[in-house]
Amino acid sequence: MSSLTGRSFLTLLDFTPEEIRFLLSESARFKELKRHCVKHRWLEGKNVALIFEKTSTRTRSSFEVAASDLGMGSTTLDSGNSQMGAKESVEDTARVLGRIFDGICYRGYAQATVEKMAEVAGVPVWNALTDDFHPTQMIADFLTIQEEFGDLEGRKLVFFGDARNNVANSLMVASAKLGVHFVACGPEALAPAADLVERCRAIAEETGGSVTLTEDPKAAATGADALYTDIWLSMGEPKELWKERIHLLEPYRVTPKLMAKAKGNAIFLHCLPSFHDRETTVGEEIYQRFGLKEMEVADKVFRGPRSRVFDEAENRMHSIKAVMYSTLC
Protein backbone atom coordinates (compact mmCIF):
# COMPACT_ATOMS: atom_id res chain seq x y z
CA MET A 1 0.00 0.00 0.00
CA SER A 2 1.35 3.45 -0.95
CA SER A 3 0.21 7.01 -0.23
CA LEU A 4 -1.57 6.80 -3.56
CA THR A 5 -3.97 4.02 -2.58
CA GLY A 6 -7.60 4.99 -3.09
CA ARG A 7 -6.75 8.36 -4.64
CA SER A 8 -7.97 9.84 -7.90
CA PHE A 9 -5.51 11.04 -10.54
CA LEU A 10 -6.89 14.32 -11.89
CA THR A 11 -3.90 16.68 -12.19
CA LEU A 12 -0.28 16.41 -11.05
CA LEU A 13 -0.87 19.53 -8.93
CA ASP A 14 -2.39 17.10 -6.39
CA PHE A 15 0.79 14.98 -6.10
CA THR A 16 4.12 15.54 -4.38
CA PRO A 17 7.41 15.22 -6.29
CA GLU A 18 8.07 11.97 -4.36
CA GLU A 19 4.71 10.53 -5.41
CA ILE A 20 5.38 11.42 -9.06
CA ARG A 21 8.86 9.87 -8.86
CA PHE A 22 7.26 6.76 -7.31
CA LEU A 23 4.92 6.51 -10.32
CA LEU A 24 7.90 6.86 -12.66
CA SER A 25 9.75 4.03 -10.94
CA GLU A 26 6.62 1.84 -10.90
CA SER A 27 6.21 2.50 -14.65
CA ALA A 28 9.81 1.40 -15.25
CA ARG A 29 9.19 -1.71 -13.13
CA PHE A 30 6.08 -2.64 -15.14
CA LYS A 31 8.01 -2.05 -18.37
CA GLU A 32 10.69 -4.52 -17.25
CA LEU A 33 8.08 -7.12 -16.25
CA LYS A 34 6.40 -6.84 -19.64
CA ARG A 35 9.74 -6.99 -21.47
CA HIS A 36 10.66 -10.21 -19.66
CA CYS A 37 7.17 -11.72 -20.10
CA VAL A 38 6.67 -11.90 -16.33
CA LYS A 39 2.95 -12.15 -15.57
CA HIS A 40 1.59 -9.52 -13.18
CA ARG A 41 -2.10 -10.26 -12.88
CA TRP A 42 -2.05 -8.67 -9.43
CA LEU A 43 -5.50 -7.09 -9.63
CA GLU A 44 -7.46 -10.17 -10.71
CA GLY A 45 -11.14 -9.85 -9.83
CA LYS A 46 -11.22 -6.09 -10.19
CA ASN A 47 -12.95 -4.18 -13.02
CA VAL A 48 -12.56 -0.72 -14.48
CA ALA A 49 -14.84 1.54 -16.54
CA LEU A 50 -13.22 3.54 -19.33
CA ILE A 51 -15.27 6.56 -20.46
CA PHE A 52 -14.16 8.28 -23.66
CA GLU A 53 -16.16 11.35 -24.70
CA LYS A 54 -13.34 12.34 -27.05
CA THR A 55 -11.55 10.04 -29.50
CA SER A 56 -8.37 8.19 -28.53
CA THR A 57 -5.90 5.64 -29.84
CA ARG A 58 -3.02 5.51 -27.32
CA THR A 59 -4.83 6.28 -24.07
CA ARG A 60 -7.74 3.95 -24.65
CA SER A 61 -5.51 1.09 -25.86
CA SER A 62 -3.16 1.66 -22.93
CA PHE A 63 -5.94 1.51 -20.34
CA GLU A 64 -7.41 -1.63 -21.94
CA VAL A 65 -4.11 -3.51 -22.27
CA ALA A 66 -2.86 -2.38 -18.86
CA ALA A 67 -6.12 -3.53 -17.23
CA SER A 68 -5.89 -6.87 -19.02
CA ASP A 69 -2.21 -7.38 -18.04
CA LEU A 70 -3.14 -6.67 -14.41
CA GLY A 71 -5.88 -9.33 -14.64
CA MET A 72 -8.75 -6.81 -14.57
CA GLY A 73 -11.86 -6.62 -16.69
CA SER A 74 -12.57 -3.37 -18.52
CA THR A 75 -15.69 -1.84 -20.09
CA THR A 76 -15.34 1.05 -22.51
CA LEU A 77 -18.18 3.57 -22.68
CA ASP A 78 -18.73 6.63 -24.83
CA SER A 79 -21.62 9.01 -25.43
CA GLY A 80 -22.72 6.84 -28.39
CA ASN A 81 -23.01 3.58 -26.43
CA SER A 82 -24.11 4.76 -22.97
CA GLN A 83 -26.77 6.93 -21.33
CA MET A 84 -24.21 9.47 -20.15
CA GLY A 85 -24.85 13.05 -21.16
CA ALA A 86 -28.15 12.79 -23.03
CA LYS A 87 -30.22 10.77 -20.54
CA GLU A 88 -28.08 10.62 -17.39
CA SER A 89 -26.02 13.28 -15.67
CA VAL A 90 -22.30 12.96 -15.07
CA GLU A 91 -22.98 12.82 -11.34
CA ASP A 92 -25.52 9.96 -11.58
CA THR A 93 -23.29 8.08 -14.03
CA ALA A 94 -20.30 8.34 -11.70
CA ARG A 95 -22.34 7.20 -8.70
CA VAL A 96 -23.62 4.17 -10.65
CA LEU A 97 -20.26 3.20 -12.10
CA GLY A 98 -18.65 3.59 -8.68
CA ARG A 99 -21.00 0.85 -7.39
CA ILE A 100 -20.07 -1.54 -10.21
CA PHE A 101 -16.40 -0.85 -10.93
CA ASP A 102 -13.22 -0.48 -8.84
CA GLY A 103 -11.94 2.52 -10.83
CA ILE A 104 -13.08 4.90 -13.57
CA CYS A 105 -11.05 6.44 -16.38
CA TYR A 106 -12.54 9.59 -17.94
CA ARG A 107 -11.61 11.49 -21.10
CA GLY A 108 -13.75 14.50 -21.88
CA TYR A 109 -14.03 18.25 -21.91
CA ALA A 110 -14.19 20.31 -18.71
CA GLN A 111 -11.76 19.57 -15.88
CA ALA A 112 -14.72 20.27 -13.56
CA THR A 113 -16.45 17.15 -14.95
CA VAL A 114 -13.67 14.75 -13.98
CA GLU A 115 -13.41 16.49 -10.62
CA LYS A 116 -17.15 16.05 -10.04
CA MET A 117 -16.86 12.35 -10.91
CA ALA A 118 -14.02 11.91 -8.45
CA GLU A 119 -16.04 13.66 -5.75
CA VAL A 120 -19.04 11.33 -6.00
CA ALA A 121 -17.81 8.02 -7.47
CA GLY A 122 -16.36 6.54 -4.27
CA VAL A 123 -13.59 4.85 -6.30
CA PRO A 124 -10.43 6.27 -7.91
CA VAL A 125 -11.07 8.34 -11.05
CA TRP A 126 -8.24 8.78 -13.58
CA ASN A 127 -8.12 11.81 -15.89
CA ALA A 128 -7.46 10.47 -19.38
CA LEU A 129 -7.41 14.05 -20.82
CA THR A 130 -9.58 17.10 -20.35
CA ASP A 131 -9.43 20.52 -21.98
CA ASP A 132 -7.06 21.62 -19.19
CA PHE A 133 -4.81 18.68 -18.28
CA HIS A 134 -3.43 15.34 -19.51
CA PRO A 135 -1.68 13.90 -16.44
CA THR A 136 -1.21 10.25 -17.51
CA GLN A 137 0.67 11.53 -20.57
CA MET A 138 3.17 13.18 -18.23
CA ILE A 139 4.28 9.99 -16.51
CA ALA A 140 5.08 8.51 -19.94
CA ASP A 141 6.83 11.68 -21.12
CA PHE A 142 9.08 12.08 -18.09
CA LEU A 143 9.81 8.35 -18.09
CA THR A 144 10.98 8.75 -21.69
CA ILE A 145 13.24 11.68 -20.77
CA GLN A 146 14.60 9.77 -17.76
CA GLU A 147 15.31 6.71 -19.89
CA GLU A 148 17.29 8.88 -22.30
CA PHE A 149 19.37 10.90 -19.86
CA GLY A 150 19.23 8.87 -16.63
CA ASP A 151 17.95 11.88 -14.66
CA LEU A 152 15.42 14.72 -14.81
CA GLU A 153 16.51 17.46 -12.39
CA GLY A 154 18.07 20.46 -14.10
CA ARG A 155 17.10 19.32 -17.62
CA LYS A 156 15.64 21.92 -20.02
CA LEU A 157 12.34 21.01 -21.67
CA VAL A 158 10.83 23.35 -24.25
CA PHE A 159 7.24 23.20 -25.49
CA PHE A 160 6.58 24.91 -28.84
CA GLY A 161 3.09 25.87 -29.97
CA ASP A 162 -0.25 26.26 -28.24
CA ALA A 163 1.27 26.71 -24.80
CA ARG A 164 -2.09 26.89 -23.00
CA ASN A 165 -3.40 23.54 -24.12
CA ASN A 166 -3.86 20.48 -21.89
CA VAL A 167 -0.48 18.92 -22.71
CA ALA A 168 1.49 22.16 -22.31
CA ASN A 169 -0.25 22.93 -18.99
CA SER A 170 0.57 19.47 -17.71
CA LEU A 171 4.20 19.66 -18.87
CA MET A 172 4.56 22.93 -16.96
CA VAL A 173 3.14 21.39 -13.78
CA ALA A 174 5.18 18.17 -14.06
CA SER A 175 8.40 20.09 -14.82
CA ALA A 176 7.87 22.33 -11.80
CA LYS A 177 7.29 19.32 -9.56
CA LEU A 178 10.35 17.47 -10.86
CA GLY A 179 12.91 20.29 -10.85
CA VAL A 180 12.98 20.64 -14.64
CA HIS A 181 13.53 23.98 -16.42
CA PHE A 182 10.38 24.39 -18.50
CA VAL A 183 10.07 26.87 -21.34
CA ALA A 184 6.68 27.58 -22.93
CA CYS A 185 7.42 28.99 -26.38
CA GLY A 186 4.56 30.40 -28.42
CA PRO A 187 2.69 33.60 -29.27
CA GLU A 188 1.40 35.72 -26.42
CA ALA A 189 -2.18 35.06 -27.56
CA LEU A 190 -1.67 31.36 -26.70
CA ALA A 191 0.34 31.77 -23.50
CA PRO A 192 -0.61 29.67 -20.45
CA ALA A 193 -2.98 31.16 -17.87
CA ALA A 194 -1.20 33.58 -15.53
CA ASP A 195 -2.52 31.92 -12.35
CA LEU A 196 -1.25 28.49 -13.38
CA VAL A 197 2.15 29.96 -14.33
CA GLU A 198 2.35 31.65 -10.93
CA ARG A 199 1.44 28.43 -9.15
CA CYS A 200 4.04 26.44 -11.11
CA ARG A 201 6.74 29.06 -10.48
CA ALA A 202 6.10 28.80 -6.74
CA ILE A 203 6.45 24.98 -6.94
CA ALA A 204 9.59 25.26 -9.09
CA GLU A 205 11.20 27.54 -6.50
CA GLU A 206 11.02 24.63 -4.06
CA THR A 207 12.35 21.99 -6.47
CA GLY A 208 15.08 23.91 -8.30
CA GLY A 209 13.16 24.01 -11.58
CA SER A 210 11.90 27.09 -13.41
CA VAL A 211 9.13 28.26 -15.72
CA THR A 212 9.90 30.69 -18.57
CA LEU A 213 7.55 32.07 -21.23
CA THR A 214 8.98 33.31 -24.51
CA GLU A 215 7.91 34.16 -28.04
CA ASP A 216 11.44 33.52 -29.42
CA PRO A 217 11.86 29.93 -30.71
CA LYS A 218 15.63 30.13 -31.33
CA ALA A 219 16.38 31.43 -27.85
CA ALA A 220 14.03 28.80 -26.38
CA ALA A 221 15.67 25.89 -28.21
CA THR A 222 19.22 26.93 -27.31
CA GLY A 223 20.73 24.43 -24.89
CA ALA A 224 17.52 22.39 -24.58
CA ASP A 225 17.55 18.69 -23.67
CA ALA A 226 14.10 17.99 -25.05
CA LEU A 227 11.92 19.76 -27.64
CA TYR A 228 8.21 19.00 -27.41
CA THR A 229 5.25 20.01 -29.53
CA ASP A 230 1.58 19.11 -29.95
CA ILE A 231 -1.09 19.66 -32.62
CA TRP A 232 -2.16 23.25 -33.19
CA LEU A 233 -5.88 22.65 -32.74
CA SER A 234 -6.96 20.40 -29.90
CA MET A 235 -9.96 18.10 -29.76
CA GLY A 236 -13.14 20.08 -29.12
CA GLU A 237 -11.87 23.28 -30.76
CA PRO A 238 -13.80 24.48 -33.85
CA LYS A 239 -12.33 23.84 -37.31
CA GLU A 240 -12.90 27.51 -38.13
CA LEU A 241 -9.87 28.30 -35.98
CA TRP A 242 -7.39 26.55 -38.31
CA LYS A 243 -6.57 29.66 -40.36
CA GLU A 244 -5.82 31.82 -37.33
CA ARG A 245 -3.93 29.02 -35.54
CA ILE A 246 -1.72 28.35 -38.56
CA HIS A 247 -0.93 32.04 -38.80
CA LEU A 248 -0.07 32.21 -35.10
CA LEU A 249 1.88 28.96 -34.84
CA GLU A 250 3.80 28.48 -38.08
CA PRO A 251 6.87 30.26 -36.63
CA TYR A 252 6.91 27.64 -33.85
CA ARG A 253 7.17 24.49 -36.02
CA VAL A 254 9.93 22.18 -34.76
CA THR A 255 12.33 22.03 -37.71
CA PRO A 256 15.83 20.54 -38.16
CA LYS A 257 17.17 24.11 -37.83
CA LEU A 258 15.49 24.50 -34.46
CA MET A 259 16.72 21.07 -33.31
CA ALA A 260 20.26 22.18 -34.23
CA LYS A 261 20.03 24.97 -31.62
CA ALA A 262 19.43 22.42 -28.86
CA LYS A 263 22.12 20.25 -27.22
CA GLY A 264 23.69 17.71 -29.57
CA ASN A 265 21.98 14.85 -27.74
CA ALA A 266 18.58 16.57 -27.40
CA ILE A 267 15.48 14.51 -28.10
CA PHE A 268 12.19 15.31 -29.82
CA LEU A 269 8.92 14.43 -28.08
CA HIS A 270 5.26 14.64 -29.12
CA CYS A 271 2.21 13.22 -27.35
CA LEU A 272 0.73 12.23 -30.76
CA PRO A 273 -1.30 12.18 -32.93
CA SER A 274 0.82 14.43 -35.14
CA PHE A 275 0.42 16.27 -38.44
CA HIS A 276 3.94 15.80 -39.81
CA ASP A 277 2.96 14.85 -43.37
CA ARG A 278 -0.08 14.62 -45.66
CA GLU A 279 -0.98 11.03 -44.71
CA THR A 280 -4.13 11.97 -42.79
CA THR A 281 -7.42 13.43 -44.00
CA VAL A 282 -6.88 16.55 -41.89
CA GLY A 283 -3.26 16.88 -43.05
CA GLU A 284 -4.35 16.63 -46.68
CA GLU A 285 -7.20 19.10 -46.16
CA ILE A 286 -4.80 21.61 -44.61
CA TYR A 287 -2.44 21.14 -47.57
CA GLN A 288 -5.29 21.76 -50.04
CA ARG A 289 -6.53 24.85 -48.17
CA PHE A 290 -3.29 26.43 -46.95
CA GLY A 291 -0.46 24.68 -48.85
CA LEU A 292 1.21 23.30 -45.68
CA LYS A 293 2.89 19.89 -46.13
CA GLU A 294 3.63 19.56 -42.41
CA MET A 295 2.33 21.40 -39.40
CA GLU A 296 3.71 21.45 -35.83
CA VAL A 297 6.80 19.37 -36.67
CA ALA A 298 8.87 18.82 -39.80
CA ASP A 299 8.62 15.28 -41.11
CA LYS A 300 12.44 15.06 -40.98
CA VAL A 301 12.46 15.72 -37.23
CA PHE A 302 9.51 13.43 -36.56
CA ARG A 303 11.19 10.53 -38.36
CA GLY A 304 14.73 11.61 -37.46
CA PRO A 305 17.31 9.94 -35.20
CA ARG A 306 16.56 12.18 -32.19
CA SER A 307 12.81 11.47 -32.21
CA ARG A 308 11.56 9.39 -29.27
CA VAL A 309 7.86 9.65 -30.06
CA PHE A 310 7.22 5.92 -30.34
CA ASP A 311 9.07 5.12 -27.09
CA GLU A 312 6.90 7.79 -25.53
CA ALA A 313 3.76 6.19 -26.99
CA GLU A 314 4.76 2.74 -25.67
CA ASN A 315 5.43 4.27 -22.26
CA ARG A 316 1.79 5.38 -22.08
CA MET A 317 0.81 1.78 -21.41
CA HIS A 318 3.42 1.11 -18.71
CA SER A 319 2.70 4.36 -16.93
CA ILE A 320 -1.09 4.02 -17.05
CA LYS A 321 -0.61 0.55 -15.55
CA ALA A 322 1.45 2.14 -12.76
CA VAL A 323 -1.23 4.76 -12.11
CA MET A 324 -4.05 2.19 -11.94
CA TYR A 325 -2.06 -0.26 -9.83
CA SER A 326 -0.80 2.34 -7.35
CA THR A 327 -4.22 3.87 -6.78
CA LEU A 328 -6.14 0.59 -6.65
CA CYS A 329 -3.82 -1.42 -4.45
- CB-CB neighbours of 284 under 10 Å: 13
For ligand CP, which residue of 13, 65, 272, 329 counts as binding (CB under 6 A)?
272
**Counting contacts by CB under 6 A, is residue 173 touching ligand NVA?**
no
* 57 touches, from ligand NVA, ligand CP, none (C-beta below 5 to 8 Å by class): ligand CP
**Counting contacts by CB under 6 A, is residue 59 touching ligand CP?**
yes
Is 271 one of the annotated active-site residues of the chain? yes
**Counting contacts by CB under 6 A, is residue 12 touching ligand CP?**
no
The nearer residue to ligand NVA, 231 or 297, going by C-beta atoms, is: 231
For ligand NVA, which residue of 11, 136, 146, 165 counts as binding (CB under 6 A)?
165
Catalytic residue among 134, 181, 270, 276: 134
* Helix locations, the chain, DSSP H: 17-35, 58-69, 90-100, 111-121, 135-149, 166-178, 194-207, 217-221, 242-249, 256-261, 281-290, 299-302, 309-328
Is 111 one of the annotated active-site residues of the chain? no
For ligand NVA, which residue of 266, 271, 313, 323 counts as binding (CB under 6 A)?
271
* Interacting residues with ligand CP between 212 and 271 (CB under 6 A): 271
Check: CB of residue 42 under 8 Å from CB of residue 94: no
Rounded to whole angstroms, the Cα distance separating 314 from 144 reads: 10
Rounded to whole angstroms, the Cα distance separating 299 from 287 reads: 14
Is 58 one of the annotated active-site residues of the chain? no
The nearer residue to ligand CP, 67 or 203, going by C-beta atoms, is: 67
Element containing residue 237 per DSSP (H, E): none
List CB contacts of 281: < 8 A, sequence separation 6 or more. none
**Counting contacts by CB under 6 A, is residue 137 touching ligand CP?**
yes
**Counting contacts by CB under 6 A, is residue 166 touching ligand NVA?**
yes
Residue type, 173: V
For ligand NVA, which residue of 231, 259, 266, 313 counts as binding (CB under 6 A)?
231
**Counting contacts by CB under 6 A, is residue 211 touching ligand NVA?**
no
Catalytic residue among 181, 230, 245, 276: 230
The nearer residue to ligand CP, 120 or 235, going by C-beta atoms, is: 235
Q: Give min distance, CB of 313 to ligand NVA, in A.
A: 11
**Counting contacts by CB under 6 A, is residue 280 touching ligand CP?**
no
The nearer residue to ligand CP, 64 or 204, going by C-beta atoms, is: 64
Binding string, residues 113-152; x marks residues near ligand NVA by CB under 6 A: ----------------x-----------------------
- CB-CB neighbours of 265 under 10 Å: 9
DSSP label at residue 233: S
**Counting contacts by CB under 6 A, is residue 129 touching ligand CP?**
yes
Q: Give min distance, CB of 47 to ligand NVA, in A.
A: 26
How many angstroms separate the Cα of 53 from the Cα of each of 77, 85, 107, 121, 129? 8, 10, 6, 18, 10
Q: Which one, of 122, 56, 59, 71, lies nearest residue 319 by Cα? A: 59
Query: Would you call 1 exposed, middle or buried from its count of C-beta atoms within 10 A (0-12, 13-18, 19+)?
Result: exposed
Residue length of the chain? 329
Check: CB of residue 137 under 8 Å from CB of residue 269: no
Q: Give min distance, CB of 137 to ligand CP, in A.
A: 6
Which residues are known catalytic residues? Answer: 107, 134, 137, 230, 271, 316
Q: Which residues bind ligand CP (CB under 6 A)?
A: 56-59, 129, 137, 271-272
Q: Which residues bind ligand NVA (CB under 6 A)?
A: 129, 165-167, 230-231, 234-235, 271
